[in-house]
Chains A and B, each alone.
Chain A
Amino acid sequence: MGGHLTQQIRSAASALAAAAAILAGAAGAVVPAQAQAQTLKAVKERGALVCGVSEGLLGFSAKDAKGEWSGFDVDFCRALAAAIFNDPSKVRFVPLNAEQRFAALQSGAIDILSRNSTWTMAREVELKLIFPAVTYYDGQGFLVRRSMPVQSSLELDGAKVCVQKGTTSAQNVADYFHANSMKFDLVTTSSAADAVKAYDANRCTVLTSDVSQLYAQRLTLAKPDEHMILPDVISKEPLGPAVRQGDEQWALIAKWTHFAMLNAEELGVSSKTIEQALKSEKPAIKRLIGTDGKLGEKIGLSADWVVRIMRAVGNYGESFDRNVGAGSKLAIPRGLNHLWTSGGIQYAPPL
């Protein structure tokens, strides 16, 4: 009985608290609206976007000898700068290691993190972040010798697998082999580079890591052409940009920048076709590039924000191909990152 009463008191108290919260929210309606636009406003006042990237990851973010940043993650910030300033060079890139990256975002040192980071619930709720979109679906895969008669990771029974010690990759591979009734030997190494060396020295038949990393590691092997990455992926690593909670406008800008680049690809709008697209009579194209409606202005940008992105960076497929895809050294197939209409799972809501 006592417990029941306590429960009633508790629920009454929480109802009161909720009511108070609603009242407070209503009274302070002006304040959140102001707070919401703070990042874009700060970026505009500063005259540049501050973008956190990795310290150097082939295809994703790298600085050349002239100090120019390029890569898939870099392009995302270039696209934002193009949308905001009509100038993709108005970005200050801040290289961050894995430990620094979220703290830099929380402290306000950067406006956005675009650094091959996996979207998880823990990161959103514990670090008070939002991952507005998945720009790159990565996942753990397997690299094998072409001479090995294998087409699927289900044919890896009895394999000797090289993997870095203490990583989720090591756990995933054990789970995967057990779940599929396959025997395996694990050859663990203290670093990722050592795992590659061990594989190249024939100490194992299979190298496992995230697929994007395997493609980069393949290039460091003595004879890259003699190795291939199997098309299977055994874990989920949805990578994307992250922003702070509490600024919905900024999160919307990041989210729709990605979706606009995807929709552009789906509609055939690219850096090469944008002039033609400006004359298009197709409603979906007109909405996208702002020749009909001014959706961009509703998120604090210009009506022609997507035109700016196309001219500076291009659509999603162009950025993918140039940095990590068929047009790059990495030559990663689109795979999961293909449009939903072309064999992948990249799917953008319409404008």
Chain B
Amino acid sequence: MAWIRPTTGIALLLAAAVVWWTAPAAAQFRRQAPPETMQIEEQPGYEPSAEEEHLPAGYRRQLVFFRTTEAPGTIIVHTSERFLYLVQGNNRALRYGIGVGREGFQWQGLVKISRKAEWPDWTPPPEMIARQPYLPRFMAGGPGNPLGARALYLGQTVYRIHGTNQPQTIGQAVSSGCFRLVNPDVIDLYNRVPVGTRVVVKQAPEM
């Protein structure tokens, strides 16, 4: 909880208090629901420790049962459940915990990895600069870079699967960014998939 900004924390407490006040019975059984979005700003220059990059068990990289008609080697991103699957065949997949963009990537369908990069440079888009004017206009790749250790570019879009220097954003919808993995995970994924890999993106159904 330490990473939630104080104002957000207070807002959450207030929200919780309102729910408790209006519907005590219902509120009790929802206490562990994960926050829908996370108000966190980029922290260029911050270098996470190995301990921080060791995710909670539920989001740690692991082999899971996974039925699919997609071929082994395909990446399937389930944005609403915050997991990325690398299909292994034989009803299993390697599952990685991810953070997703809150408003960023609404598209769903099939793309291919068009390019791979190690320690990518970061050029914050204009919208992000508008929101956080103190951000650098350019930052060379490296351990404190918000794009993390690796980037996999998705087709001709501006979106990519990349690392992060903010491990606490895994499992969250954050205010900006595409699909982010902790650096050890994105390095692992990078080493397993070539350019041309099929990426299936699935979004929560529209109302």
Does B67 lie within 8 Å of A345, measured CB to CB? yes
Within 8 A of B (CB), among A296-351: 311-314, 317-318, 321-322, 325-329, 331, 333-336, 338, 342-345
Say yes or no: B207 contacts A314, CB within 8 Å. Answer: no
Check B157 for interface membership: any CB of A closer than 8 A: no
Does residue A94 face the partner (Cβ distance < 8 Å to B)? Answer: no
Give chain A interface residues in 122-158, CB to chain B under 8 Å: 151-152
Q: Would you call B92 an interface residue if the criterion is a C-beta within 8 Å of the partner chain's C-beta atoms? A: yes
- Which residues of B lie under 8 Å from residue A322 when comparing CB positions? 30, 32-33
A331-B57, A344-B67 known; A268+B32 contact, CB < 8 A: no
A78 to B25, CA, bound (A): 10
**A interface footprint on B20-48 (CB within 8 Å = 1, 0 otherwise):** 00010110111011101000000000000
- A87: chain B residues at CB < 8 Å are 25
How many of A's residues come within 8 Å of B, CB to CB? 52
Q: How far is the CA of A338 from the CA of B78 in the complex (A)?
A: 12
Q: Is A236 an interface residue (CB 8 A)?
A: no
| Interface size of B as a range | 35 or more
Q: Interface SS of chain A: helix, strand, loop or mixed?
A: loop
Q: Which of A197-229 contact B (CB under 8 A)?
A: 224-225, 228
A268-B59 contact, Cβ under 8 Å, with A342-B78, A343-B93: no
Would B29 and A231 count as touching, CB distance under 8 A?
no
A45 at the interface (CB under 8 A from B): no
Using Cβ atoms and an 8 Å threshold, which residues of chain B touch A269?
A: 207
Q: How far in angstroms is the closest Cβ of chain B from A13?
A: 51
Interface of A toward B, CB cutoff 8 Å: 68, 70, 75, 78, 87-89, 151-152, 224-225, 228, 230-233, 266-269, 271-273, 276-277, 279-280, 282, 285, 311-314, 317-318, 321-322, 325-329, 331, 333-336, 338, 342-345
Interface residues of B (CB under 8 A from A): 23, 25-26, 28-30, 32-34, 36, 54, 56-60, 62-68, 78, 80-82, 85, 90-93, 95, 97, 171, 202, 204-207
